[in-house]
Structure formats: structure tokens, C-alpha cells
Amino acid sequence: MEPIPAPSAGLDRISQIDGRYAWTRLVMSVLIATIGSVGMWSVVVVMPAIEAEFGTMRAASSLPYTMTMVGFAIGNVYMGRFVDRAGILLPVIGSAFALGIGYAAAALAPSIWVFAVVQTLIGFGAAATFGPLIADISHWFVKRRGVAVAAAASGNYFAGAIWPLVIQAVLPDWGWRTTYFGIGLFALVTMVPLALMFLKARAPDLGSGAHAVAPKPVRSIDLSPRQLQILLSIAGLGCCVAMSMPQVHIVAYCVDLGFGMSTGAEMLSLMLIGGVVSRLASGFLADHIGGVKTLLIGSVFQMLALAAYIPFDGLASLYVVSLVFGLSQGGIVPSYAIIVREYLPAHEAGQRVGLVIMATIIGMALGGWLSGLIYDITGSYQAAFLNGIAWNMMNVVIMAMILFRTRMRGARTA
């Protein structure tokens, strides 16, 4: 089979939209995201080991995850802006080096506080494999943009499904420090070659000129771009405070219930496998009904699944609820990127997607820490689940308002 050539500038790149190269680029983007997004999930799995080694309480042991999300949020914004100007290649290469250095430094951390600070660099490195990668791939698709964005975002959940099981398998023999060294080395030696092979081409400009292309429906809203951006950011904050409760604390929750750390890691993987299915399904749905409706459906089901954790805490029921939760919430975050592309200027996609992703990650960071704090105060996760439901309701209200104020105009074509 002949190799697929990278498209050249100008009209050659325009002709590749929704074409063979675009799909190949999407597959490679998912692979890179699956590797690089380990930066989001490794700290969740090693949290009990960190807590035991450094002798910390639950809120303090949640701090490294919070700092990871802070770095992840900042990275999504700044690297998103860079992608708008210069493309995705350098951010992905920078991500590989940040992960390699970050994991090596974290493995040498003498205290929980140093470990938490270094996790900020790991989070920053992982950022390029999420929001910026999603923004980049959105330029290569029009007819199947929802599917493409959802698939690119699924790399993050593939990482969450695969890496916890890998880490849990080697952790007893290697310890968390050697495991961290190995993760950093693997990310560095795999991500750089993949980026150089497949991500050199710049995304085509579809926003203006003789070859301008627009999505099938054109949506407008009686809100300014700034107002819509703020509302989307607040909604992202709310949904991800809720989302973080099971994702960050399911391993520790299972340990508290006496089921063990390996069971918690299995539930996290099951949750994120469900998230992958949900993300892909939401992409198909968004191509037909739009990003706002897709996000609203996912948010409502996430709230219901979160509520199911309260009465069901048996082993079998927790497996079921974790799968249902994953199937409910997986499509929420990618829908924000689809909404940005439906309502806001294409040439600002990287920056605007990055800002919304930053808000969702702040929500994950805040929610992860809040849940640990509530646990320390109450001695139980029940109140933490209720806290998540309240934040989720805020997201539902905002998205319903955006849907109510949306107007549809006729389709435009190239």
C-alpha cells in the first residue's frame, strides 16, 4: 500500500477535508492522546501509595491531582493559542519533553508538597494532547466534525481505561517511583516520532476566501461571543466538579469500602471505557442535533448516574453504576469544542476551546479537592456526591438557557 502523503499548503489541504489524510491524522491524534493523557490518570492510581508513604490525610493527598489539573488547564489555554498561530506539531513535541522531565522529577520528590508542584508540569505537558489536539483536528473535518472531535477526545479516556490497569499491574513490584520513571521515558520515546511523522501539516483555513467552508447548519445566539464564552466556561466548571467525584476518588472509595485498590482501578477503567463509547456516540449525535442538545442530554444523565452512587455501594452495584456513569458523561467535554465551532469564529478555535477546557479542568481540580475535604470533615463520601449533584444542576440550567436562545439560519456551502 502506498503511503498517505501529507497535504501541501493551500488548496491541496482544502481538498483533504473529510478525506483519507484527515482520517489518518485523526487515528494518529487518538494514539498520541492515549499516550500523553497518562498525565491525567497516573496520579489517581498512585494516590493511596502516596498517602501511605507521606502520611497525609485525604485532602492533602488529593492536592497532587488538583495541581495536575491546574497545569492541564493552563496548558490548554496557552498551547491552544499557539495552535491557532503555528499548528499542533511543536506543542505535542513540547508535551513529550514536559512529561518525560515531569515524571522523572516527581519520582524523586522528597515530600507530598514537592510531588504536587511537579505534577503541575506533568499536567501542563498532558494538555497538548487534549484541547489543542481537538481544536487542530476540528479543522480537518466538516461533515463528520462531531465524530472527529469526539474521537480525538476519546484518546483521553482510552488513556484512563488503559493506564490505570498497566500502572496497577506493575505498582506492587516496581513501586510508584520506578513506575513514574518508566511512564516518562515511554511518553518521550513514542510521542516525538509520532508527531514528526503525522502532524507536520498545518490545518487548512476554512473561515474565509474563495474556498471557505461552513458546517451544515449555521447557529446564532442573541449573546455576544464574550457572553457565550463566559457561560460555557461556567457550565464547564459545574459539570466537571460533578464529574471529578467518581473519577478522582473511586479508587480511594473502594479502599474505604474494603474492596481494595485493584478493584478501584478496575472500576475507573470500566468507567472510562464507558466514557469512550459515550464520546463516540455523542459525536454521531452532535452531527445530527448539534452540540448544545448533545451536551444537555449528557449532563442530565450524568446527574442521575451520580445520584445512583448514594444508595448503591455494594461491589456488584458499584461496577454497574461506574459503567453507567461513564456512559452518561463521556460526551460532555467534547461537546464544548463542537459548540465553540458552531457559534464562534473558526480562526479562534484553539484559544476558545482552550478557555472552555481550562474551565472544565478547574472544575475537575476543584471537585477533586472539595470531595477530599468533604470526606475529611464528614468521614464519608455521601455528602461529596450531593455536592457534585448541586454543581451539575448549574450546568443543566446554563445549557438549557443557551438552547432556548439559539436561532438557526440556513446552511452555507463552500
Q: Which three cell numbers stand for residue 154?
A: 476519546
Architecture of domain 13-203+211-409: Up-down Bundle (1.20)
Dist CA 195 CA 191 (whole Å): 6
Residues 6+ positions from 400 with CB-CB distance below 8 Å: 296
What's phi and psi for 409, nearest 5 deg? -110, 170
pLDDT above 70: residue 206: no
The per-residue pLDDT for 107 is: 92
Average pLDDT over residues 304-331: 89
- The residue ranges of every structural domain in the chain are 13-203+211-409
Dist CA 339 CA 336 (whole Å): 5
Which of the listed ranges 136-140, 200-204, 393-397 does the model predict with the highest average pLDDT?
Answer: 393-397
Q: What is the chain's mean pLDDT, rounded?
A: 83
The per-residue pLDDT for 11 is: 42
pLDDT above 50: residue 13: yes
pLDDT above 60: residue 10: no
The per-residue pLDDT for 207 is: 47
pLDDT above 80: residue 217: no
- Kindly indicate the confidence band of residue 59, based on its pLDDT and cuts at 50, 70 and 90: low
pLDDT above 50: residue 215: no
More confident residue, 408 or 73: 73
Q: How far is the first Cα of the chain from the last one, in angstroms, to the nearest whole number?
A: 32
The per-residue pLDDT for 49 is: 84
Q: Considering the entire predicted model, what is its pTM?
A: 0.73
Bridge partners for 218 per DSSP: 409
Per-residue pLDDT reduced to its tens digit, 114-146: 999 999 999 999 998 988 888 888 888 888 888
* Nearest partner of 101 among 66, 65, 71, judged by Cα: 71
DSSP per-residue string spanning 63-117: HHHHHHHHHHHHHHHHHHHHHHHH-SHHHHHHHHHHHHHHHHHHHT-SSHHHHHH
- Decide the pairing of beta strands 218-221 and 406-409: antiparallel
Q: Name the amino acid, one letter, at 206.
A: L
More confident residue, 393 or 382: 393
